[in-house]
Structure 1
């Protein structure tokens, strides 16, 4: 007998919202489309989320956790700097549309800004535990974290390619940023 995976309604809505936000951005979709894409009537959405912003934050939480798991797995590779850089870059490229909405909403919506701040504080806590970062100033860690994020976003958005950088050069920039964040560069 084949077992069928039954995902909870909330998770189906989050996954549908993730796809919608990534494809069309936050402003390019609405809660009715999200509910229908998940296979539900529009009113089902509001049984699980207060509004579209709440599901956006839930998508961000899932995105953040999947990135954290990818980075942790990559850290065990023979060349962890390369593996982490590739995992981070791939994650940002795969979620370019979502990341664009995240950057915009973090400027305009306090709830999204708070969610991103919490995420970054958790990332800084993880970075502070790295052997190369013991005793490193919080401001240095913050700058290193933001550099990784910005370089990955610039690569995903095509900004670095627009400057004439090829794939190898872009990956090299991400590796350098990762090394700096890990206290190795």
Structure 2
């Protein structure tokens, strides 16, 4: 991977294009594929409009199905939101694993994750809001964070302190969000120190790093 390349963190659930007009698919014949297509469509809706302004009807329409098809596979909008979040967490870990395997620089990884936050700002904002008010989302976020911690331990056998790993991950995520949302720009700052700090967080997490 070239130093300037930014990975597609969500390639595994790349959203389909919005469809308009009458649904054209026979969803009963598609079986499990229909569930996957609805998941992809939900991801696209959440990214574009956020959780609050997404409806099950819009998700079904985007996937090319009749509205009632959504409820054959998902209980409600919250359930599919959580599944989208879980799928994206897995995709991010897979993408990061690839970058580490290819020995991408920590700076390159930092830039990729900030770009990821920019692209999916509405979704991540929805996640934060729901985690503050909805136990199911709070639990799903914790489960995904624990999965990240276990992955870091597999990458880096010398770093096995779960609390330290969690602190580094949360610190890195906070910096990613601030950079992506332009907080440093708003203060007239260039963010170079923030990128440096983010790279240092990644250095401590990646294979070969030694726990302090």
Q: TM-score, normalised by structure 1?
A: 0.85
The residue that corresponds to 2:200 in the other structure is 176
Q: Give the aligned partner of residue 3 of structure 2.
A: none
Residue equivalent to 2:51: 26
Q: CA RMSD in A?
A: 2.3
2:149 matched to 1:124?
yes
Give the ranges of 4+ consecutive aligned residues of structure 1 lying more than 6 Å apart after TM superposition. Answer: none
Residue in structure 2 matched with residue 144 of structure 1 by the alignment: 168
The alpha carbon displacement at 1:93 in A equals: 2.0
Within the candidate set 121, 134, 156, 1:96 is matched to 121
Please state which structure has a larger fraction of its residues in helix: 1
The count of residues paired between Structure 1 and Structure 2 equals 179
C-alpha separation between the residues in 1 aligned to 2:70 and 2:121? 25
Task: Tell me the residue number matched to 1:42.
Answer: 67
Cα distance in structure 1, aligned partners of 2:59 and 2:124: 18
Instruction: Decide whether aligned partners of structure 1 residues 43 and 52 sit closer, same or farther in structure 2, where only a CA change above 3 A counts.
Output: same
Q: Give structure 1 stretches of 5+ with no counterpart.
A: 1-5
CA–CA distance in structure 1, aligned partners of residues 46 and 182 of structure 2 = 19
CA–CA separation in structure 1 for the residues paired with 2:137 and 2:93:
19
Q: Which residue of 2 aligns with 1:62?
A: 87
Give the Cα separation in 2 of the matches to 1:70 and 1:160. Answer: 27
Cα distance per residue 1:25-63 (max 9 Å; x no partner): 100111111111111111000001000000101110121
Compute the displacement of 1:123 (Å): 0.8
> Which shifted more, 164-173 or 84-93?
164-173
